[in-house]
Structure formats: C-alpha cells, structure tokens
Amino acid sequence: MTTIRQVSKLAGVSVATVSRALQKPDMVSESTRKKVITAAEEVGYQPNMMAVKFRNKKSFAILVLVPDVSNPFFSKIISGIQTQAKKKGYNVILGNTANDLATEQELANMVFTNQADGIIQLAARNPLIDNIRHATVPIVNICDCVTDGSMPVIRLDNNGAAKAIISHFADLGHNRIAAIMGPDGSPITEQRLSGYLDGLKEQKIDIIESLMERGDYSMESGAIAAGKLLAHEVRPTAIFCFNDEMAIGAIHEIRNQGLRVPDDISVAGFDNLNFSRFMDPPLTTIRQPNAHFGQHAVEMLFEMISQQGQSVESLTLPYELIVRKSTTKAKP
C-alpha cells in the first residue's frame, strides 16, 4: 500500500499539497500539479478509500434492500440501480431481506454506522420508521410502494394498467374475468385489485367474488390458484394474473387439466419478464420500465443525499399494454 506520504516525499512537497493536487487540482500551481501526478504514477499511488471515506464521513455506497435478489423482476431493477450508481462513483451494497423485518432493520442500520449514504427499498415498508433518526435518512422506495408517505416513491400506475388489461379483455368479449391476486396487505396488490374492480365497473361486468383468488406472486401459487378457479361450475373465460410468474403457473395448470390457452381461457400477466415473449403462447402483459425504476431511484436518492432535509417528489412511470397470443376473443 503506497500512501500519500510517499508521494509527497518523492515530489518534494507536503502531504497537504499532494492531496490538493489530486483532489482539487485548481488549488495548486500547474508545476506542482505535474510534479505530484508524476510522483503518484511512479509509486502507483491509489488513495486508501477507507481513509477517505472515514475522513469525509461519506461511504459512497447505497444500500439496496430487496426481498429476493433472484426474482427476475427485482434483478432487472437492481441492474438499473447498479448502472446509475456506478456513473456517480457509488457502490451498491446488496441487502437480501427475504422479507424479514428484522433483517431489513439490521441492514438499514448501516446508514447509522456510516456504511451507506442512503437506501433504496424495494419492499413495501419503512424499515427505519421506529428509529428516532429516521427522518434524516435518505431513502426512496420502488415497486411495492410504501404508502405511508414516509419516503418518496417511484411507482407504476398500477390501477391504470390493471384497467387496461380489463378493457382489453372486454374488447375481446370476455365477461367472466377472474383475477389471481397477490397477497393481502401488499400495496401493489391493492392497487392492481382496485384497477381490476374499477375496470369491471367501467365495462359493466359483474364482479364475482368467487373469481378472485390469492397467490403470492410465485409460479407455484399461480398454478394452485388456477386450479381453484377451474373447479368452479362455470369457469372463467379469462384470467388476469397480477404478475407474469403467476400467469406462467396458471397456464401450466390450465394445460395440465387438458384445456387450451387462449382458446378455452385467455390469460394475461403483469411485468413483461424476458421470458414472457418466448413462452407458449407468448404472454399478454404489462411492460414495466424496470431499469428506469432503478435509474430514477438512484437519481432521487442522490437528490436527497445532497439537499438533505428538502423533500423530493414521488414519481409515476408509464406502463404499456403488450398484447400477445395468450389472450383471444371469447367464445360466443
């Protein structure tokens, strides 16, 4: 490890001057700057970032709290976060929480021990809310939105997107439109659910309680929920799944029971995973701008970090309905 001291000796200047020449070049004369830079290169100087961070009381790191890194929806967002953070010279510390509150709080505590300058939270709660100092912590939320107003949020118009799906089904002549929802209490689920209900009302389609099943956003749960829907005396003619993974599970189960998609039952998802356009049939779904979520989150977080105290506006990003072959006209 070469230090600033060695550079200073070789260049024949003080350590203060080395620091200035390297970090604030216009505070030193042209000639010393050159001397210093030459010396630094000669000894292969690289600042000890641990010392820099300690001294500056900045970690140059952001913590990302994510329920499950290996969830493809999240991992795309993380990819966007990473890209944007790197541009700003920040590191991304990965915090896999498995949706465990204690884990979230423990990880979030890193902002209080100077290990992170801010937090991007991908789950629907504020892990800091119990902490006295929480108001001072830069934190933003994406995806499953924190609805208590305790932090700025980057969200999709989930309600509008769900209505767009229902409207699409209605255009195709469907009037028994089932829903495979997410778990109770998830804001994202609530929003899509209200969009589903609003959509049905707008289209003057009866709301049938028994056509609404809960899943947990996994493929397995989609298959199970679809199984329940198919057991009804009168089956749905279309199913709106609150994410692509449940749609994949649902289609799997529908097929298992000898029915066809879309001929017997139309199925739509939500998220537009990479995979969704390659499956059979390709899935009608809602595209979310995942990478943009990540990028905007980083931008917002930096705004909060720099102009601390100032509140930052929440942001709603646009969705896009993508019609593929998993949905078709209702049989007359």
Q: Which does 15 bind (CB under 5 to 8 A by kind): a second copy, DNA, none?
A: DNA
State how far the alpha carbon of 25 is from the alpha carbons of 127, 189, 229, in Å: 41, 53, 69
Residues 62, 85: contact at Cβ < 8 Å? yes
Q: 261 - beta bridge partners?
A: none
What distance in Å separates the CA atoms of residue 164 and residue 305, rounded to the nearest whole number?
A: 37
Q: Minimum distance between the CB of residue 83 and a second copy, rounded to whole angstroms?
A: 7
The span of 52-60, 166-174, 199-207, 226-234 binding a second copy (CB under 8 A) equals 52-60
Q: Which is nearer to a second copy, 206 or 280 (CB)?
A: 280
Q: Which residues pair with 322 in a beta bridge?
A: 285
Q: What is the DSSP string of 83-117?
A: HHHHHTT-EEEEEE-TT-HHHHHHHHGGGTTTS-S
Question: What is the rounded CA–CA span in Å between residue 12 and residue 192?
Answer: 67
Residue 49 tokens read as 């970032």
- Pick from 78, 139, 164, 179 the residue near a second copy by CB under 8 A: 78
**Given the complex with DNA, which of 24 and 204 has the nearer CB atom?**
24
**Would you call 198 exposed, middle or buried from its count of C-beta atoms within 10 A (0-12, 13-18, 19+)?**
middle
Which listed range, 8-16, 93-101, 160-168, 194-202, lies at the site for DNA (CB under 7 A)?
Answer: 8-16
**Does 27 interact with DNA (rule: CB under 7 A)?**
yes
Contacts with a second copy in 170-229 (CB under 8 A)?
219, 223
| Residue 29 interacting entry, from a second copy, DNA, none, C-beta within 5 to 8 Å by type | DNA
Find the binder of a second copy among 27, 51, 135, 207 (CB under 8 A).
51
CB 25: neighbour CB atoms within 10 A?
A: 12
Q: Give the residues lining the site for DNA (CB under 7 A).
A: 1, 3-5, 12-17, 19-20, 22-24, 26-29, 31-32, 45, 47-48, 51-52, 54-57
Q: Which residues bind a second copy (CB under 8 A)?
A: 1, 46-51, 53-54, 57, 59, 61, 64, 68-72, 75-76, 78-79, 82-83, 86, 91-96, 109-110, 112-115, 219, 223, 248-249, 251-252, 255, 274-275, 278-280
